[in-house]
Amino acid sequence: MFITFEGGEGVGKSTQIRALFENLKEKGVDVVLTREPGGCLTAEEIRNVMLNSSVHLDVISQLFLVMASRREHYIHTIKPSLEQGKLVLCDRFIDSTFVYQGLDYFDDILYLHGLATGGLMPDITFLLDADPEITLSRMTQRGIENHMDSLDFQRHETLRTSYLSLATFFPNRIHIIDASGFPHETFAQIEKVVEKQFFSTR
């Protein structure tokens, strides 16, 4: 099974994916935690270029870099792990590309994604959703982590709207999780879906 986590900045994505990873390990599941951009040596190098604040990248160049990193990640981490029967948890995947590189490029993204991964889509995607008022105040407390992160209210609002409209394209795959409360409240919603879709089918 392949599970991805998505959401704008400050929604608590990394905390939740790590919590699910630990929870599944405790239950004896053979699970791999990975991320995009990144997830293998070459793809992490590409991530460094993408998130380097001194490099300005045009959106199409970003798209090619994301897809190069995805190809490497797919070959070296995702595909072998899935073939070994492992459950793969990935922090960001195709939906980040739709949202960050732009829904205007939907068909191009699908085509390039098909080339990079043979068309691999997640079985479950958790979209962590919270009001920008909340995500911005969390980020202000924590500080910005990379140059693609932003404290701009409008940008948070735009990312949120794009994610929510994307969820309407993939209603069976994308589960919208209310991430505005305490971390344990968010996690309870995630655990419920995994319980239903993973454990009940084993």
Task: Give the footprint of ligand TMP on this chain (CB under 6 A).
Answer: 35-37, 62, 66, 91-92, 96-97, 100-101, 146, 148
Closest CB 63 distance from ligand TMP, rounded Å: 8
- Shortest distance (Å) from residue 109 CB to ligand TMP: 9
In the block, residue with structure tokens 């009940």:
200
* Residue number, 101 or 117, with CB nearest to ligand TMP: 101
What is the rounded CA–CA span in Å between residue 40 and residue 69? 9
The token pair that represents 100 in the structure block: 């960050």
Supply the minimum distance, in Å, between the C-beta of residue 147 and ligand TMP.
Answer: 9
Strand order, beta sheet including 31-35:
31-35, 87-91, 2-6, 124-129, 174-178
Burial of 195 (0-12, 13-18, 19+ CB in 10 A): exposed
Shorter beta-carbon distance to ligand TMP: residue 7 or 24: 7
Instruction: For the CB of residue 108, give the shortest distance to ligand TMP in the complex, in Å.
Output: 13
- Do residues 90 and 4 make contact, with C-beta atoms less than 8 angstroms apart? yes
Look at residues 89, 72, 76 and name the one whose alpha carbon lies nearest to residue 2: 89
User: Quick one: 16 or 101, whose CB is closer to ligand TMP?
Assistant: 101
Q: Which is nearer to ligand TMP, 49 or 193 (CB)?
A: 49
The least distance separating ligand TMP from the CB of residue 100, rounded to whole angstroms, comes to 3
Of 137 and 146, nearer to ligand TMP (C-beta) is 146
